[in-house]
Structure 1
């Protein structure tokens, strides 16, 4: 078995250089792939979940690989090799059976080491950032991309309710060993009654005024703490969209809470000098 990890102990934080966000307004051809139905049927059969035949027939959904590939040129040029690419998502990719992170590595300058973080709900993006921080802080990695994606089609019924995105949305964060420090913290085993206190403690430790950008889940669990509440229709990319849009000044705390896992996450960054020129918040159609 091949294993890999950051080469040595971190010596400094990851530093956010730029952010790019995009909504993909239409479906992709992957949604009509005839292999999708039997693949999903095998996937859900042990759990007794029914397929959504209406979505399969209509060809609804988008592929994370195609979404992310379209965004890469906005954050990194052909002469800017990337050392690490981390893909973070909660819902499964529409292009099943493909190692999407490896696919993106092949299309990213520098063909970086690449892997995905999933099965953590909204915490996946924060874990991806923590891992990226370890690599960049080691001194052996200079440039990294964290790609957070969600698509709005779940082609089978769920046994328990879960947030489903309204739109196909992606955010790419470019991080380097030089730039604005971005620090990430995660609390595990947090019940809803402790969320507000822990988040306030995290914000108070900053020692100066910060804008708290929170998901709707977190805002509900910790009333009065958030200054900005992200779009509830973007449960996994919403707070990162707020970061990419750049409508805030100074120190920003991006926070989220995954109640199913008791996971409270917060990322802190001074966005005063982040490059927002690459931000594209328009809806684009990718066939």
Structure 2
């Protein structure tokens, strides 16, 4: 068995080169795959969850692999090999039974080492960034992609309320050793009463003015801290879509809170002295 891991603590920060966000207006052909129903039925049967027959019949949903594959050319060219690709998601992929990160490695220039981060809710993207920071900062790779995706169809009734995205959305962050410095922080075991103070402390530690981009759930838990509140209908990609929107100056702090896990996450991007046009400024709706 082959195993790999970051070689040590990063000696220098990872740097954001570009970010691209896209909204996929249509569903994926995978949503009509006849194998989807029996596969899901086997998964949920032990937990007593009912399938959403209406969504299965209508063919609603989108494949993470198809979404990410469509975005790759907007971020890297065929002559720009990638060393690392990390896929981050919260809701399950529509294409079940496939290692999507490995599939994307085959579609990506350079056939990068690839893996996925999940089961952390909105914290998955931050963990993916933190791991990427370790690889880039230690010299283990030169170019990396972090892919954050969500699709709007949960084909079974959840055991407890869960945030369901309004749209199929993906964001790709391209990171290298040159560009806008990125740093990630994560607090665990955080209850709702501590969120505001911890977030204010994180902002204060920057020692300078920062634009705070927060998810809608974090803005509600920590009122008065956010400068920009992301679309509540995109619970896992909203803040990253705001980052990809472009036009940023100075320090930007992107933050989210996953109350079910007590996880408060922040990521700072320092655009000072960099070419702001390097960040893709369009969230594109695809027919």
User: TM-score, normalised to structure 1's length?
Assistant: 0.97
Per-residue displacement from partner, 1:129-182 (whole Å, max 9, x unpaired)? 000000001112010000000000000001110100000000000000122110
Aligned partners of 2:247 and 2:281 also within 8 Å? no
Partner of 1:102: 102
Task: Say whether residues 1:281 and 2:283 are aligned partners.
Answer: yes
Name the counterpart of 2:59. 59
1:14 has 2:14 as partner: yes
Number of residues paired by the alignment?
285
Maintained 8 Å contact 1:244/1:276: no
Q: How does 1:55-204 map to 2 (within 5 A)?
A: 55-204=55-204
Measured after TM superposition, the shift of residue 198 of structure 1 is 0.2
Per-residue displacement from partner, 1:237-265 (whole Å, max 9, x unpaired)?
Answer: 00000000014321100000000000000
Tell me how far apart the structure 2 counterparts of residues 252 and 9 of structure 1 sit (CA, whole Å).
23
Counterparts of residues 229-240 of structure 1 (less than 5 Å): 229-240=229-240
**CA–CA separation in structure 2 for the residues paired with 1:36 and 1:116:** 21
- Give matches, 1:15-54, under 5 Å: 15-54=15-54
Describe the SS at the equivalent of 2:181: strand
User: What CA distance in whole angstroms lies between the structure 2 residues aligned with 1:10 and 1:283?
Assistant: 37
User: Which structure 1 segments of 5+ residues have no match?
Assistant: none
The range that moved more, 267-276 or 170-179, is 267-276
Matched, 1:262 2:269: no
Partners in 2 of 1:243 and 1:276 — Cα distance?
12
Distance, in Å, in 2 between the alignment partners of 1:176 and 1:86 is 14
Instruction: Write out per-residue CA displacement over residues 21-59 of structure 1, whole angstroms, 9 at most, x where no aligned residue.
Output: 000000010000000000000111111000000000000
- Structure 1 position 277, deviation (Å): 6.0
Alpha carbons 2:196, 2:221 under 8 Å: kept:
yes
C-alpha distance in structure 1 between counterparts of 2:69 and 2:263, whole Å = 30
Superposed structure 1 runs of 4+ greater than 2 Å apart: 271-280
CA distance, structure 2, for counterparts of residue 110 and residue 261 of structure 1 = 35
1:40-97 CA deviation, whole Å, 9 max, x = no partner? 0011111100000000000000000000000000010110000000000000000000
State the alpha-carbon separation in 2 of the partners of residues 181 and 13 from structure 1: 6
State the SS of the aligned residue for 1:233.
Answer: coil
Q: Tell me the alpha carbon deviations over residues 199-220 of structure 1, each in whole angstroms, 9 at most, x when there is no partner.
A: 0000001111110000011001
For the residue of structure 1 that corresponds to 2:61, the secondary structure is: coil
Matches within 5 A, 1:223-234: 223-234=223-234
- The separation in 2 between residues aligned to 1:10 and 1:184, in whole angstroms, is 12
Contact 2:249/2:276 (8 A) holds in 1: no
How far apart in 1 are the matches of 2:214 and 2:173?
18
The 8 Å contact of residues 7 and 140 in structure 1, kept in 2 or not, is answered as yes
Contact map agreement 1:181 1:270 (CA 8 A) in 2:
yes
